[in-house]
Structure 1
Amino acid sequence: MDTKTVPPVKERKTLTDFMRANTKFIIEPIVDYLARYRFSPDALTVIGMLSHFLFAWLIAIGQMTWAAVAIFFIAPLDAFDGALARKLGRKQGGFGAFLDSTLDRLAEIILFGGFILFYMNSENAVMLGVAYLAITGSIMVSYARARAEALGYDCKVGIASRVERYFVMILFLFLNLPDVAMIILAVATYITLGQRMYTVWQQAYGTPDDSVKNNG
């Protein structure tokens, strides 16, 4: 009896991949400068996380456009810590990688906390619920990838990876449309979670040959 062959999952390029590939000319000179003075990648990671208190405060007090400007100029620090670690010859996948991943999640929790405070102060129960969906969806998107990769699956798929989420926030905060940003993120993050679950399901329940190929 013929066995139906399930083709391997093709990993689509995300906005994160595109930005990383097309901003090297900006990142590399800065990384070279920081490496010259042996600046700690972990310090960059911590500074990036702490900056989210500023973003959250600006959002909480309703300064949406200034929040967008601050996020646009400061949040890209996240792109430098990994590159700096590689430049300094740090072990890949060590404590620095764990710290970066953990503080990225904490940073988003802090950032979305600004929206929650804003909607609480506005006594807008509907948008408070939407913000709750947006933050939980964002965390689940990141968790799904981390758990999948820990099991040996590829999971860099979806319409709302971290860079996409920040892009949506920057754009609509700049336009002073925080409600639109939250609605888009509440929907897009759960779509992305579904995409990632389906991608892992494809790899887990493909033919034996595909499973070996995808997990090898």
Structure 2
Amino acid sequence: MLNGLRGAMTRFFTPVARALLRLGVSPDAVTVGGTLVVVVTALWAFPTGHLLVGALVIGVFVLTDSLDGVMARQAGRSGPWGAFLDSTLDRFGDGAIFAGLVLWFTAGGDDRVTAVLALACLVLGSIVPYARARAEGLGMTASGGIAERADRLLLVLVATAAVGFGAPDVVLTVVLALLALASAVTVVQRMSKVYRQAATQVSE
């Protein structure tokens, strides 16, 4: 869903990237800084019940997630280090978002069911990119699926903002349940894709 907007986002962020580079800001600094803001915001705002503020702040930084890549390409510094750093720090941001919701629903919200669903999203959300990375390490591909990272973050942040704005908690409960299910299906889809590739290699 959001991956289809990547071209438009690149065009939008190109002048911003050029301005930051002229100011001496490095792509790595943008990657690290954005991750720190997301992690701190998620672990402060969500557990303390500031769901709307947290979702809006994090949403802004999620939308600018491709800015560091645009900067690297503008500066001619695209390479494996930047991709590795971005992917690794994404796991911190994603983990903080769902961990913050787990803390809210076990303490402030006192809703163990929704907390378990948020925990399931956290765990399954980490397996989805691992499956792809492991497949690529073996010379195969395992991208795609019904619940890629951008889609998962968009849905959980919209639902969190809605609850923070006054919608009933069940909205977030339903969204988290759907995300956990979609993430599990995505893992199965990627495993199936790798299985077919591995079977083809054996038959050859």
TM beyond 0.5: yes
Cα deviation digits, residues 88-140 of structure 1 (max 9, x gap): 1115112x222111111111111111111101103322222211111001000
**TM-score calculated relative to the size of structure 1:** 0.82
SS at match of 2:158: helix
Gap runs ≥5 in structure 2: 164-170
Ranges in structure 1 where 5+ consecutive residues have no aligned partner: 1-14, 212-216
Structure 2 residue 132 is matched with structure 1 residue 135: no
Q: Which has the higher helix share?
A: 2
CA shift in 2, pair 1:180/1:71, >3 Å = farther
Question: Does 2:22 match 1:28?
Answer: no
Q: Which amino acid aligns with 1:126?
A: V
Deviation at 1:208, TM superposition (A): 7.0
Partners in 1 of 2:43 and 2:186 — Cα distance? Answer: 24
Give runs of aligned pairs for residues 15-164 of structure 1, distance below 5 A. Answer: 15-52=1-38, 53-94=40-81, 96-121=82-107, 122-164=109-151
Residue identity matched to 2:197: Q
The structure 1 segments of at least 4 consecutive aligned residues displaced by more than 6 Å after TM superposition are none
TM-score normalised by the chain length of structure 2: 0.87
SS at match of 2:77: coil
Larger Rg: 1
Task: Report the identity percentage.
Answer: 33
RCO higher in 1 or 2 (8 Å CA, sep ≥ 6)? Answer: 1
State whether residues 16 and 161 of structure 1, in contact with CA within 8 Å, keep that contact through their aligned partners in structure 2: no
**Shift of residue 34, structure 1, vs aligned partner:** 1.6
**Map of 2:183 onto structure 1:** 189
Q: How many aligned positions are there? A: 195
CA distance in 2, matches of 1:180, 1:41: 37
